[in-house]
Each structure stands twice: as C-alpha cells, then as structure tokens.
Amino acid sequence: MLVVWLGAQGHPVEAFKRRAVSQLPASFVERFEQMRPYARHLGHFLVPMLVDLPPIASQEAFDVVYASLDSERRETFQRQVQVYRQQVREQRTRTWSRLHRFYQGIIPWLRRRQEVPWIVTARDQSSVLALLASHEVYLPQNRVYGEQPSKLEALIAIANAEQVRPEDVIFVDDHPVHVQAALEAGFRAYFATWGYGRMPPEMMGAAPLPRIQLPELLAGRFPNPQNRSTRP
C-alpha cells in the first residue's frame, strides 16, 4: 500500500519510512482495503488511487472501472510503482523488510520442510525471494511463480514439473476465486482463513469451499477423505 501511494505520487525513496504508513490519507487506505480483493495484479491498484468513484461492490464493477482508464495511464502507473518498489527494496532494505510481516509460525515451517515448497503469488518474484532471504529462508528461483494474476497456469506447470496428477498437488490460497478455479481444474485446494479480511459475499460462491486454519497447515493436517499421499 505504501509503495503504491508513494511510487504513483512520485515521492523520493527517502520518503519510504515506517511512520509514513500512518500518514497515508485515510480515504485512500479505506479504498485500498475495500478494493484489494478485486485486484489481481499490480496495475489494478491504480483504481484505489482514484477519487470520486462510483460505488464498487463487485468484481465486474471493478473491472469496468479499470478497463475505462486510458491504457497509457495504466502502463505509466504500473511502471512507476515497479521502479519505486525496486528502489526501496534495494535502497531502503531494512525498512522495506520490516514493513512486511509473516504470519506466526510460517518461517519455522518453511525452514523445517524437507520438500522444497512452491510459491504462486501475485507479488513479484524478486520481492518474495528477498523477503524470505531476510529471514534466512532460501528458495530456488524456479520455485517461486511471481506476478500470477490467475495462478492456475502456474499450478499446471508445477504438476507437470513434479510429474504428478493435479489431485496430488495441495494448493492453499487466501482468495476464494483462485481456490475455486483450482478445485474445478482438479487440484486439491483450500481456502486459507487467515489471509484477507472479510471477503465480498459474491466471491465466496454458492458452495462452501474447503477451508484450512493456520495451525492445521503448520501441523500438516489436511482434510483428505481418500487418505492419499499428497505434496504441498
């Protein structure tokens, strides 16, 4: 959120400070948090930067607003934020790292895993690897699929790389749209209850999604009625 605001506004790298978070305009923070579930890639975060928007209460309404924006404006915004993100990551590394927090227990869980996990995320790969490295967790570059707006293509690539069937791949995500898409493609997918805040009801779908709590993930407990061997 801070990178988006400062980068799009053209602030210098020196402005990237922890106290700057509390100085963000309250209206922007409210719009960002309300629209975050609808954003599937970096460019989408241009929408919360806009003021005097009509009410956005669905993915369709969000997509209509984004599509209505001039393509050059969208490209400029994304380029500015990408450059600023790289600058703060390289020049304000300590502050940047401290502004990102992992859920309790995730880092020890990653360190003790015998199998190297795969990460599929909308965040850029370089940031993910750098954040993990700041906690002494080192993953091969090819195990992190970054900037994935849909995630399904990456899951298919992972199943192929592991030479397993989709149902033998465990996918945990905090966005119901990704979970539903993975389930429909045959993957063993779970909705992470500790991720986003409250999701818009329309995104949760009519049928309840398989859910997993953080303690269950850390303990390796996945609902598995067929008692198959699986790999997350």
Is residue 142 one of the residues assigned to a domain? yes
Q: What average pLDDT does this structure show over 4-11?
A: 96
Is residue 228 one of the residues assigned to a domain? no
Is residue 10 one of the residues assigned to a domain? yes
Higher per-residue pLDDT: 226 or 4: 4
Q: What is the pTM of this model?
A: 0.85
Q: What is the dihedral of CA 152, 157, 161, 167, to 10 degrees?
A: 30
Q: Are residues 92 and 147 in the same domain?
A: no
Q: Are residues 115 and 175 in the same domain?
A: yes
Domain boundary among 75, 98, 121: 98
Q: What average pLDDT does this structure show over 73-99?
A: 96
Q: Are residues 72 and 141 in the same domain?
A: no
Do 169 and 231 contact (CB within 8 A), yes or no?
A: yes
Q: Binning pLDDT at 50, 70 and 90, where does residue 224 land?
A: low
Q: Are residues 85 and 149 in the same domain?
A: no
Q: What percent of the chain has pLDDT over 70?
A: 91
* Token pair in block for residue 189: 């997918």
Phi, psi of 158, deg, nearest 5: -65, -45
Q: Are residues 207 and 183 in the same domain?
A: yes
With 70 as the cut, is the pLDDT of residue 230 above it?
A: no
Is residue 86 one of the residues assigned to a domain? yes
Domain boundary among 71, 98, 125: 98
pLDDT score of 223: 74
Do 160 and 188 contact (CB within 8 A), yes or no?
A: no
End-to-end CA, the chain: 29
Give per-residue pLDDT as tens, 102-156. Answer: 999 999 999 998 889 999 999 999 999 999 999 999 999 999 999 998 999 999 9
The domain in which residue 142 lies consists of 106-219
pLDDT score of 141: 96
Q: What CATH number does the domain containing 156 carry? A: 3.40.50.1000
Domain boundary among 66, 98, 130: 98
Q: What average pLDDT does this structure show over 20-35?
A: 94
Alpha helices (H) along the chain:
2-9, 26-35, 59-68, 71-91, 93-98, 106-112, 125-133, 152-162, 176-184, 201-204, 214-219
User: Any idea which residue has 């990551």 for tokens?
Assistant: 89
The 3-state DSSP class for residue 65 equals helix
pLDDT score of 55: 84
CA distance 102 to 46: 25
Give per-residue pLDDT as tens, 158-192. Answer: 999 999 999 999 999 999 999 999 999 999 999 99
Do 128 and 146 contact (CB within 8 A), yes or no?
A: yes
pLDDT score of 218: 94
Q: What average pLDDT does this structure show over 19-48?
A: 94
Sheet holding 211-212, edge to edge: 170-173, 188-192, 211-212
With 60 as the cut, is the pLDDT of residue 46 above it?
A: yes
Number of domains in the chain: 2
